[in-house]
């Protein structure tokens, strides 16, 4: 005799055995796919929708069809700590060794950590990271680039990874797919050193005649593809990337992932190389803006956004996919190569109305563009001035997928899901910004407190950016004075003291 049970009984049984991820059950009802497009060093003012003078029609369209944030922050003013915070839900200054990672750094986020991709993976999403990593790889230094390189993204919640291991300006200049360097010929192994030029290969310093783009500061070590980098490498000739092709390859790998996962929930973290240095656009984009390579790679980045949107449309996934577009930290002009970024700016102002830039405690360091689009769910053309941080993505997505995160995990992340999709006008009460040297600022309501620091007032290498460091405390009213010109400490000493105390509390929490 056969016993027939109603379908939901099977669901209940399987679910109680842990065989059905919660997410899959509710996928069609509430939970969208998520595509997070994470630009590198893109300033608040670099997008035309945010006031820039470089055409960014595809990114503008995201804003026209979605929700534009005007008061959003990356957690830090450089890449590694900013990404660390976004992926773990914890400010990076809590953990030693999370400053800008050298190209041969070992994994900074350890297996077993609570992570943004891990949360979504648990909910039944297929998860991928395509593009810049810069959070370290492997267990022990020195990394052997000729074997399986792990742990890495696959050990902390990503099902697929196609990576630039560190940055475009650091060796080895090769892609890593899952655990392996792509196109590596075992007869030509890769050797990397961040200390000495092991085999006397050409360097920018000794052989500038071999360069297609000259360095300005740093970046005078090994030469690959006519560009000198940070660090020394030899071997891996067939695996070396062509900088001109990076954007197209990242698009291709992303689209492959979207296609493969069109029938299940997915999370794609597309971490673009654009617009980090070296800025070397594909010939389709070289010269199109008349504003030099920095302008051209913004157009290339915009093309990437358009290509991903088009692919989603073609796959009929537009309505069921939430797209987030943002940047890891603020803008910089000369970040180590003579690419004419400053000379060709014209009226384009990457910094918007803000002071400082990448690396800085001032607003331009971490105040970044943020756009969220979800067709049919978010009202087109809406705007939000909610105070929100990328560190909030983790708990927001946990809430979206009905998951509880233990109190002592992801401690700096807040569930701001409603604000993120425009259902709520307000979000955080306060947040912490991190500049180089772990100098912290505290933003609460209209005010910002920058802790005193005796470091240099300008970033001590050639970028020509104010650090925001002063020996005395600083207090600004960001609403009245977004450019941080008037230090209010002598006018409002009590307010300063209170904010100082608040920052101390967060620091010690």
295 near ligand NG6, judged by CB under 6 A: no
- Tell me the pairing of strands 126-132 and 160-164: parallel
* Residue list 87-106, contact with ligand NG6 (CB under 6 A): 100
- Least separation, in Å, of the C-beta of 469 and ligand NG6? 17
Stretch that binds ligand NG6, among 184-192, 198-206, 328-336, 378-386 (CB under 6 A): 328-336
From candidates 9, 51, 199, 217, binder to ligand NG6 by CB under 6 A: 217
277 binds ligand NG6 (CB under 6 A): yes
Q: Write out the residues near Ca ion by the rule CB under 5 A.
A: 40-41, 79, 328-329
Nearer to Ca ion, 86 or 432 (CB): 86
The option from Ca ion, ligand NG6, none interacting with 167 (CB < 5 to 8 A, set by class) reads: ligand NG6
Q: Which two tokens stand for residue 1?
A: 């005799």
* Among residues 39, 230, 333, 368, the one that binds ligand NG6 under rule CB under 6 A: 230
Q: Are residues 283 and 244 in contact, defined by beta-carbon separation less than 8 angstroms? A: yes
Q: Identify the residue among 334, 335, 339, 392 touching ligand NG6 (CB under 6 A).
A: 335
If binding means CB under 6 A, how many residues of this protein chain bind ligand NG6?
Answer: 17
The Cα 194–Cα 228 span in angstroms is: 14
- Short-list 37, 106, 506, CA closest to 307: 37
Of residues 115-134, those binding ligand NG6 (CB under 6 A): 134
Do the Cβ atoms of 364 and 44 come closer than 8 Å? yes
Query: For tokens 């069109």, what's the residue?
Result: 262
Q: Given CA atoms 169, 173, 174, 179 in this order, what sign does their dihedral have?
A: negative
Answer for which of 229, 276, 375, 395 binds ligand NG6 (CB under 6 A) is 276
How many Cβ atoms are within 10 Å of 143's Cβ, its own excluded?
Answer: 21
- Phi, then psi, of 209 in degrees rounded to 5: -65, -15
Interaction between residue 167 and ligand NG6 (CB under 6 A): yes
For ligand NG6, the closer of residues 87 and 322 by Cβ is 87
Residue in the structure block whose two tokens are 């695996």: 239
Query: Is residue 169 part of the contact set for ligand NG6 (CB under 6 A)?
Result: yes
Residue 214 near ligand NG6 by CB under 6 A? no
Cα-Cα-Cα-Cα torsion 34, 163, 89, 141, nearest 10 degrees, comes to 160
Query: Is there a cis peptide before residue 275, judged by omega within 30 degrees of 0?
Result: yes
- DSSP bridge partners of 227: 213, 224
53 binds, among Ca ion, ligand NG6, none (CB under 5 to 8 A by kind): none
Contacting residues toward ligand NG6, per CB under 6 A:
40-41, 78-79, 100, 134, 167, 169, 217-218, 230, 276-277, 329, 335-336, 461
């Amino acid at each position: 005799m056969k016993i027939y049970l109603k379908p939901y009984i099977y669901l209940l049984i399987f679910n109680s055995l842990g065989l059905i991820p919660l997410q899959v059950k509710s996928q069609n009802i509430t939970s969208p796919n998520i595509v997070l497009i994470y630009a590198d060093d893109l300033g608040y003012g670099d997008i035309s929708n945010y006031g820039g003078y470089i055409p960014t029609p595809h990114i503008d369209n995201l804003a026209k069809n979605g929700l534009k944030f005007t008061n959003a922050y990356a957690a830090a003013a450089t890449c590694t700590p900013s990404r660390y915070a976004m992926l773990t839900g914890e400010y990076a200054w809590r953990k030693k060794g999370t400053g800008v990672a050298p190209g041969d750094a070992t994994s900074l986020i350890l297996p077993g950590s609570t992570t943004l991709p891990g949360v979504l993976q648990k909910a039944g999403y297929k998860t991928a990271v395509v593009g810049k990593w810069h959070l370290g790889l492997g267990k022990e230094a020195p990394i052997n680039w000729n074997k399986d390189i792990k742990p890495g993204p696959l050990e902390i919640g990503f099902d697929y990874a196609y990576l630039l291991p560190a940055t475009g300006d650091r060796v080895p200049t090769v892609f890593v797919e899952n655990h392996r360097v792509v196109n590596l010929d075992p007869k030509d192994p890769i050797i990397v050193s961040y200390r000495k030029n092991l085999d006397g290969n050409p360097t920018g310093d000794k052989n500038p005649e071999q360069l297609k783009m000259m360095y300005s500061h740093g970046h005078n070590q090994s030469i690959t593809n006519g560009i000198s980098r940070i660090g020394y490498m030899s071997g891996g000739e067939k695996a070396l990337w062509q900088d001109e092709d990076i954007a197209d390859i990242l698009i291709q790998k992303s689209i492959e992932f979207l296609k493969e996962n069109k029938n299940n929930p997915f999370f794609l973290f597309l971490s673009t190389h654009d617009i980090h240095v070296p800025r070397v656009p594909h010939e389709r984009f070289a010269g199109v803006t008349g504003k030099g390579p920095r302008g051209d790679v913004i157009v290339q980045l915009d093309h990437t956004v358009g290509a991903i949107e088009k692919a989603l449309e073609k796959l009929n996934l537009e309505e069921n996919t939430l797209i987030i577009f943002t940047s890891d930290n603020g803008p910089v002009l000369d970040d180590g190569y003579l690419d004419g970024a400053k000379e060709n700016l014209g009226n384009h102002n990457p910094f918007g109305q803000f002071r400082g830039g990448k690396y800085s405690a001032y607003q331009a360091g971490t105040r970044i563009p943020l756009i969220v689009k979800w067709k049919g769910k978010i009202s087109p053309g809406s705007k939000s001035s909610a105070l929100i941080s990328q560190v909030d993505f983790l708990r927001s997505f946990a809430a979206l997928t009905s998951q509880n995160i233990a109190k002592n995990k992801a401690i700096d992340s807040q569930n701001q899901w409603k604000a993120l999709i425009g259902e709520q006008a307000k979000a955080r009460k306060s947040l912490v910004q991190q500049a180089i040297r772990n100098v912290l600022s505290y933003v609460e309501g209209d005010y910002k407190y920058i802790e005193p620091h005796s470091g240099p007032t300008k970033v001590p290498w050639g970028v020509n950016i104010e650090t925001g460091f002063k020996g005395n405390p600083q207090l600004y009213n960001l609403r009245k004075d977004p450019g941080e010109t008037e230090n209010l400490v002598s006018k409002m000493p009590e307010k300063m003291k209170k904010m100082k105390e608040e920052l101390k509390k967060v620091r010690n929490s």
